[in-house]
Amino acid sequence: MKLKILVIAGDGIGPEVTSEAVAVLKEVATFAGHTFEFDQKRIGGVAIVKDGTPLPDETIAAALNSDAVFLGAVGGNEFNSLPADKRPEAGLLKIRSILGGFANLRPAFAFKELAVNSPLRPEIIDGADILFVRELLGGLYFGQPREWDRAANEAWNTMRYTKAEVVRVARVAFQLAQKRRRKLTSVDKANVLEVSQLWRAAVIEVAAEFPDVTLEHQYVDAMSMHLMNRPRDFDVVLTENLFGDILTDESSVITGSLGMLPSATLGGKVNLYEPIHGSAPDIAGKGLANPLGTILSAALLLRYTAGLETEAAAIEKAVRKVLEEGFRTPDLARGNPQGLTVLSTTEMGTKVRETVKKLLAK
Ligand code: NAD
Ligand code: IPM
Ligand code: MN
């Protein structure tokens, strides 16, 4: 198998976590006899500084010419006063829209070993295994008009969806639910918003194609509470762009740390893989970042872009094994460091890489 992977590491902890995931992918390539070619380009704050734009044309061309794009994170406090369309985050939104992936899969899985790291009781989170499907190209993020009229002291964004946009992401979510526990929870705000009423009607229509999947609807405010109270009741959770952004960060409480959550964006010209966390300026450059969410994103790349299920599963198993053996980055060692070995970003990456190698050699 030959794969061309474009790495856009970005800002803050982005380069630290992506280099660990790339090292794991290189290990997999060597061991399983694949050829993975890596190219690196700029995005976000580093691109603003070097190229004067958060998404240089060179990055776009390389991304469209690759089999998969692997992203770290973008953003930094020094860019906070820039207008929304000039910020590092605008580069991320633009590459998402150019690549065209609309279904952002964000699995949130409660590792038993990390239960102690969650403020939720172990019996609440034990066994929780949720697959969020976040619509990634619509809603408030992309709706027009949008503006901050400074003179008028007024600003507006537009939450907009077409039925076709809802239908295509709903189909992906139902198909994924068919391969899991066959339950789909669609999250909206249909008690208030017209756009959510359209969302709900479209999801109900798509549900008719999937009679084996049980569909339920939740309002987003109640859902944010249900997720914390009874996370095991959810299988696939389908929602629009902004609700999905918020609910998935909230779900990191179930998994023990934001640094544990990977993502895969499917359905466009080229798939995009990235952890769900940001550039974490508060810990950047200190070797404190947890690379596991990014490494798990590499597993998703192997699964969804390359169909290399054995290799993808080996990475996921290696992450589990390293946790079972008591290795933790600092974010995973809060409150209970006894008996655990706290590792730096690179040390954790190395542990996973060595474990993947052993698993693949078996
Ligand atoms: P963040 O996700 O960067 O960090 C939130 C908190 O979680 C911080 O305390 C951070 O230290 C911690 N954290 C995040 N990832 C971690 C990891 N891998 N290991 C250990 N701890 C981790 O969110 P924020 O602080 O709200 O935003 C910082 C910047 O990142 C902003 O500019 C924001 O726009 C950007 N951002 C980018 C992305 C992305 O590129 N996909 C996602 C979210 C936020
Ligand atoms: C994420 C991030 C991005 C989003 C930002 C940085 C544009 O928070 O990937 O979750 O809101 O989608
Ligand atoms: Mn987010």
- Is 304 a catalytic site residue? no
Q: Which residues line ligand 1 (CB under 6 A)?
A: 13, 17, 73-76, 89, 92, 258-259, 274, 277-283, 289-290, 293, 331
Residue 245: CB within 6 Å of ligand 2? yes
What is the predicted pLDDT for the residue at 362?
A: 83
Ligand 1: residue whose CA is nearest its atom 13? 280
Q: Give the CATH number of the domain where residue 359 resides.
A: 3.40.718.10
Q: How far is the CA of 321 from the centre of ligand 3 (A)?
A: 28
What is the predicted pLDDT for the residue at 336?
A: 64
Dump pLDDT digits (tens) for 112-164.
999 989 999 999 999 999 999 999 999 999 999 999 999 999 999 999 999 99
What is the predicted pLDDT for the residue at 246?
A: 98
Q: What is the mean pLDDT of residues 96-100?
A: 98
Q: What are phi and psi of 132, to 5 degrees?
A: -80, 135
- Is 126 a catalytic site residue? no
Name the percent of the chain lying above pLDDT 90.
96
Same domain, 92 and 161: no
Dump pLDDT digits (tens) for 12-42.
999 999 999 999 999 999 988 999 999 999 9
Same domain, 251 and 139: yes
pLDDT value at 275 more than 80: yes
Q: How far is the CA of 12 from the centre of ligand 1 (A)?
A: 9
What is the predicted pLDDT for the residue at 335?
A: 72
Would you give the DSSP letter of residue 79?
G
Same domain, 165 and 287: no
Q: Which of 92, 247, 249, 251 to mutate to test the pocket of ligand 2 (most atoms within 8 A of CB)?
A: 92
Whether 114 maps to a domain, the answer reads no
- Please tell me whether the overall predicted TM-score, pTM, comes out greater than 0.85 for this model: yes
Q: Residue 225: CB partners within 8 Å, gap ≥ 6?
A: none
Same domain, 14 and 65: yes
Residue 118, Cβ neighbours under 10 Å: how many? 22
Last residue of a domain, one of 197, 232, 255: 255
Last residue of a domain, one of 208, 229, 255: 255
The total number of structural domains in the chain stands at 2
Buried b (16+ CB within 10 A) or exposed e, 133-167: bbbbbbbbbbbeeeeeeeeeeeeebebbbeeebbe
Same domain, 261 and 247: no
CA distance 174 to 183: 8
Same domain, 156 and 248: yes
Whether 356 maps to a domain, the answer reads yes
Same domain, 251 and 335: no
Last residue of a domain, one of 229, 255, 281: 255
Q: Which helix or strand (DSSP H or E) is residue 41 part of?
A: none
Task: Report the DSSP pairing between strands 264-266 and 103-109.
Answer: antiparallel
Residue 85, Cβ neighbours under 10 Å: how many? 11
How many CA atoms within 13 Å lie on the side-chain side of 305? Answer: 29
Same domain, 210 and 198: yes
Same domain, 128 and 142: yes
Both tokens assigned to 185: 């929870």
Reference 49, options 81, 76, 72; nearest CA is 76
Same domain, 206 and 133: yes
- Rg (Cα) of the chain, in Å, rounded? 20
Q: How far is the CA of 123 from the centre of ligand 2 (A)?
A: 31
- Domain extent, residue 328, equals 1-109+256-362
Same domain, 2 and 78: yes
Same domain, 128 and 91: no
CA distance 15 to 72: 6
Both tokens assigned to 301: 């790349």
Residue 13 CA: nearest ligand 1 atom is: 18
What is the predicted pLDDT for the residue at 24?
A: 98
Whether 88 maps to a domain, the answer reads yes
Whether 325 maps to a domain, the answer reads yes
What is the number of the ligand closest to the CA of 289? 1
